Structure 1
Amino acid sequence: MTSTIDSPSRHGGRSPSTGEWLHDWDPENEETWDRRLAWQTLAVSTGTLTLAFASWFIASAIAPKLNDIGFVLSKDQLYWLVAIPGLSAGVLRLVWMVLPPILGTRRLVTLTTLLLAIPLVGWGIAVQNPDTSYAWLLTLAALSGIGGGAFSGFMPSTSYFFPRRLQGTALGLQAGLGNFGVSLVQFVTPWIIGFSMVGFLGAAQTASAPGKPTHDVWYQNAAFVYVPFVIVGAVLAWTLLKSVPVRANIREQFDIFSNPDTWCMTLLYVMTFGTFAGLAGQFGLLLKNLYGAGNAEIVATLPDGSTQLLVAGYDVPDPVKLVFLGPLVGAAARVLFAPLTDRFGGARWTLVSGIGILASILYTMTTLTPDPAAGAAALDADFHHFLYGMMAIFLFAGIGNAATFKQMPMIFERRQAGGVIGWTGGIAAFGPFFFGVGLTMMSPAAFYAIGAAFAVLCIVITWVRYARPGAPMPS
């Protein structure tokens, strides 16, 4: 049996539909393509994907502050806590990638959105009790991976609704705005925990940190605030979405693995989205462990309970208030550069992305061994260089995310392109896990050196296979 999308030739006119399923859907035929339905699908699925990413990265927003509210977790335990959602999402994406032809867009988006409520409610309850076991925290981290798994189902589903000439724009908008969910959860968390907005769902926690007075926080808000939006998103998905009858069983979808471009594009998407997701998950802990107050010697405890640090005059950064910047830059780059990939092709921008990531990594490596004894001015300068370097990595990763998603629909036929998008997204979703394990096993400098070498490999693949004049698969 051959996998297909029904052709409009038998009926003519706009694609008729009965209930959930469309009939004779062909986005390449301007006369029959329902533009309004396509953009409506993009809007609803993008909104719910943003919530999915927020749910996926909830642990990265909460973990850096858990010890401040009474938990007792080591650096390695915190790295693992933030890494596990990446492991879970990577595995779940390999499941979600085969679901679009089986469930259809409407059921897939609705059911996945409802599932997001499970880890969100779980985190909201767990953070209120410092005696919550580490095993349960890891379980919640794994359940958060549902939000990451959604990507490999939502993106192929959306690709079925748009012609190839708009694939870069449509997929770039969906993925980029979905990626804003990472920045959203990290930006909203420091603000939303500061008052009892949903305090009736739990009591305040007392937060204490070196150099700062104690104060009340409501960390359950960081998770509970998304639950009403999840319910609304699921209702909208069920009432507004349709499904395209893409005919393919699970065995047929595995034919993508016989194509060498599947493996090349997997490496390139690991370089781009794997870097984005990995750094987004670990940015807060990196910032805290490299430049936080815990790395400066405490020399005195003041009468108000605060502490005086060895490096006087150094403004210790609060990771919870800064980590949203990187994902924000990366997501914005993905959105803004998506139309440019439609105009100039994806391969060129993937090449730019690889070179930019390599240069940014090399720059950032000079800031990964700060020395508090060097004084406040030197420490402050190193911190700002580290921050700028990280922003540059996020920027070029975002450009590459847009570019690779333009390449895939150009390289593969429509149904295969959906499968490759799901597969590459699944492997790249392991980024937070690989980053967490790597930073646990080796120094940040050594880990970044491996990242630089991998970027060189991806630059060579992009040039030889896709970007050079006369390349075998220009895209």
Structure 2
Amino acid sequence: MNEQSQLAEEHGVSGTPKRGLVMSTLVFFAGLTTIVFYGAAGPILEEHLALAGVLHGLLLASPHLSKAVLRIPFGAWVDEVGGKKPTLILMASTLIGTAGLVITLFLTYPENFTMELYPLLVLFGLLAGAGGATFSTGITQTSYWYPRDKQGFALGAFAGVGNIGPGMVVYVLPVLIGIWGMTMAYSVWLVFLLVVAAIYAVYAVDPYYFQLRKQGKRPDEAQQTADELGQDIFPSGGMWDSLRTSAENRRTWILVFLYTVSFGGGFTSLSAWFPTYWEQFHELPLTTAGLLAGVFIVYGSLIRVPAGSVSDRFGGEEVAIVSFAVMTLGGAIMTFAAGFWPAILGMMVLGTGMGFANAAVFELVPKFVPEAVGGASGWISGIGGGGTLVILPLMGLFVDLYGKVGYARGFAVFILLSLLCVIVATAVLNSAL
């Protein structure tokens, strides 16, 4: 037993940063799958419910809405009680929503699965979407586990691996529906979520500071002991203190904007845009279009792992500037590329820039807002997560204006936004605010 382990045992605390990272990543991987709660079964839902476009969009968006709203308070709540309790509450909501849908399918599908069920389905989507808010609880939990010089690696690994979940469900669920039918496919999904939640409940532990606080130690005593154990980032107050403190820090709002463009609005918007882009503009089969969109999702997620280490080495400020410049280039290629292979190149360049930019943003959170990591993470991931409500309509406007070619011209949105991010990152992040 090494000295640190012996010290931890003496103070009655357990866990390691690696264990904390694995558990947070696992539950985020599972929880985030619910942002595509209805997406993979979209054609079946449209056939049975005969939904108008607006109602169909609302149903698909229901988990995104709860995800974005809940990230703010739950991320900040970690600063008060640690990450385990908030995460378990979010997963409980997800399990209730998923179980509600499964029970409804068992009772009504296919004969009685009709429009009368629509309000109930929206409710289930809102409940299930809570799992997507595990991003803010997990990223805050991970920040407290790791020292400042390892933040980029840890947060990059957390977000990179965790974000693969929705892409995998988009492919796996239709296959299961084809083999067993929709009811059993969603039942398998429910079992998966239940197993992950159970594993997290048993093996996840809060960082040392929060364990010591639960033992009744005063904040200063808990911080001193946790510091001896290797923890060097600590909250300065409870949930509302964290939200207020982070909101008063101007750099929090700069990071909100950068996250909105790089991931919350940017990456998420393109994950939804690319299937239609490849099908409509390049006239590819839907299966091929979906596969190419999946390549973008997986690549853009996994590259955040090495991007985090690069941010640790060179600093998130410099990596952010370069990354948004790469995004500008990728947006330009996509806007004017007419052929298949130039478009593939542009897509990968965009994915590279977005992955590195996102890793850089969260490497900067504990650096710029160390006294309120949870609150800052909540604002960034919550408000930024709603960016699709702005970026997708802007891209769609190009289709309304230019017709088919508008599916490509819509990427001009990323030329403008990415250039603006380069200017902001250069002028603000490296200045003394």
Please say whether Structure 1 and Structure 2 have the same fold, judged by a TM-score greater than 0.5. Answer: yes
Partner of 1:31: none
**Alignment partner of 1:193 out of 177, 186, 195:** 177
Q: Give me the whole-angstrom Cα distance separating, in 2, the residues matched to 1:59 and 1:384.
A: 31
Shift in Å at residue 341 of structure 1? 1.3
**Alignment partner of 2:375 out of 404, 419, 438:** 419
**Alignment partner of 2:42 out of 63, 66, 79:** 63
Aligned pairs (5 A) from 1:340-379: 340-366=310-336
Partner of 2:227: none
**Alignment partner of 2:204 out of 241, 255, 259:** 241
- After superposition, the Cα gap between the structure-2 partners of 1:282 and 1:81, relative to the gap in structure 1 and judged at 3 Å, is farther
Higher strand share: 1
- After superposition, the Cα gap between the structure-2 partners of 1:121 and 1:319, relative to the gap in structure 1 and judged at 3 Å, is farther
Partner of 1:165: 149
**Alignment partner of 2:30 out of 51, 55, 75:** 51
> What SS class does the counterpart of residue 116 from structure 1 fall into?
helix
Scaled by the length of structure 1, the TM-score of the pair is 0.72
Partner of 1:277: 268
Question: What amino acid is the match of 1:58?
Answer: F
Q: Give me the whole-angstrom Cα distance separating, in 2, the residues matched to 1:439 and 1:329.
A: 22
Partner of 1:405: 362
**Alignment partner of 2:255 out of 238, 250, 265:** 265
Contact 1:47 1:178 in 2 (8 A): yes
Partner of 2:76: 98
Partner of 1:150: 134
Shift in Å at residue 168 of structure 1? 0.9
Q: Give me the whole-angstrom Cα distance separating, in 1, the residues matched to 2:418 and 2:272.
A: 20
- After superposition, the Cα gap between the structure-2 partners of 1:54 and 1:112, relative to the gap in structure 1 and judged at 3 Å, is same
> What SS class does the counterpart of residue 248 from structure 1 fall into?
coil
> What SS class does the counterpart of residue 225 from structure 1 fall into?
helix
Q: Give me the whole-angstrom Cα distance separating, in 1, the residues matched to 2:124 and 2:279.
A: 23
Contact 1:86 1:432 in 2 (8 A): no
Partner of 1:472: 432
After superposition, what is the alpha-carbon deviation per residue over 1:237-292, rounded to whole angstroms, capped at 9, x for unaligned? 22222232456223311111221111111111111112112222444345455556
After superposition, what is the alpha-carbon deviation per residue over 1:8-52, rounded to whole angstroms, capped at 9, x for unaligned? xxxx9337555xxx5xxxxxxxxxxx7x52211111111010001
Scaled by the length of structure 2, the TM-score of the pair is 0.79
Shift in Å at residue 221 of structure 1? 4.6
- After superposition, the Cα gap between the structure-2 partners of 1:418 and 1:451, relative to the gap in structure 1 and judged at 3 Å, is same
After superposition, what is the alpha-carbon deviation per residue over 1:95-149, rounded to whole angstroms, capped at 9, x for unaligned? 2122213342222222322322233334544594452454444434433431222
After superposition, what is the alpha-carbon deviation per residue over 1:297-318, rounded to whole angstroms, capped at 9, x for unaligned? xxxxxxxxxxxxxxxxx75655
Q: Give me the whole-angstrom Cα distance separating, in 1, the residues matched to 2:330 and 2:425.
A: 18
- After superposition, the Cα gap between the structure-2 partners of 1:128 and 1:359, relative to the gap in structure 1 and judged at 3 Å, is farther
Q: Which has the larger radius of gyration?
A: 1
**Alignment partner of 1:456 out of 398, 413, 419:** 419
> What SS class does the counterpart of residue 178 from structure 2 fall into?
coil
Contact 1:52 1:150 in 2 (8 A): yes
Q: Give me the whole-angstrom Cα distance separating, in 2, the residues matched to 1:452 and 1:147.
A: 32
Contact 2:239 2:375 in 1 (8 A): no
> What SS class does the counterpart of residue 76 from structure 2 fall into?
coil
Aligned identity (percent) is 24
- After superposition, the Cα gap between the structure-2 partners of 1:115 and 1:401, relative to the gap in structure 1 and judged at 3 Å, is same
Contact 1:180 1:328 in 2 (8 A): yes
- After superposition, the Cα gap between the structure-2 partners of 1:58 and 1:352, relative to the gap in structure 1 and judged at 3 Å, is farther
**Alignment partner of 2:295 out of 314, 321, 325:** 325
Q: What RMSD in Å do the two structures reach over aligned CA positions?
A: 3.0
Partner of 1:429: 385
Q: Give me the whole-angstrom Cα distance separating, in 1, the residues matched to 2:366 and 2:43.
A: 39
Partner of 2:218: none
After superposition, what is the alpha-carbon deviation per residue over 1:449-473, rounded to whole angstroms, capped at 9, x for unaligned? 3332221111101112235xxx437
- After superposition, the Cα gap between the structure-2 partners of 1:366 and 1:410, relative to the gap in structure 1 and judged at 3 Å, is same
Question: What amino acid is the match of 1:225?
Answer: V
Contact 1:113 1:233 in 2 (8 A): no
Partner of 1:307: none
Question: What amino acid is the match of 1:340?
Answer: V
Q: Give me the whole-angstrom Cα distance separating, in 2, the residues matched to 1:248 and 1:277.
A: 32
Give ranges in structure 1 of 5+ residues lacking alignment: 1-11, 23-33, 197-217, 293-313, 368-380
> What SS class does the counterpart of residue 199 from structure 2 fall into?
helix
Q: Give me the whole-angstrom Cα distance separating, in 1, the residues matched to 2:141 and 2:57.
A: 33
> What SS class does the counterpart of residue 417 from structure 1 fall into?
helix
Higher helix share: 2
> What SS class does the counterpart of residue 358 from structure 1 fall into?
helix
- Asked whether 1:131 is paired with 2:109, we answer no
Q: Give me the whole-angstrom Cα distance separating, in 2, the residues matched to 1:355 and 1:316.
A: 31
Q: Give me the whole-angstrom Cα distance separating, in 2, the residues matched to 1:339 and 1:451.
A: 25
Contact 1:84 1:432 in 2 (8 A): no
- After superposition, the Cα gap between the structure-2 partners of 1:365 and 1:142, relative to the gap in structure 1 and judged at 3 Å, is farther
Partner of 2:16: 37
- After superposition, the Cα gap between the structure-2 partners of 1:115 and 1:63, relative to the gap in structure 1 and judged at 3 Å, is same
Partner of 1:252: 241
- Asked whether 1:110 is paired with 2:88, we answer yes
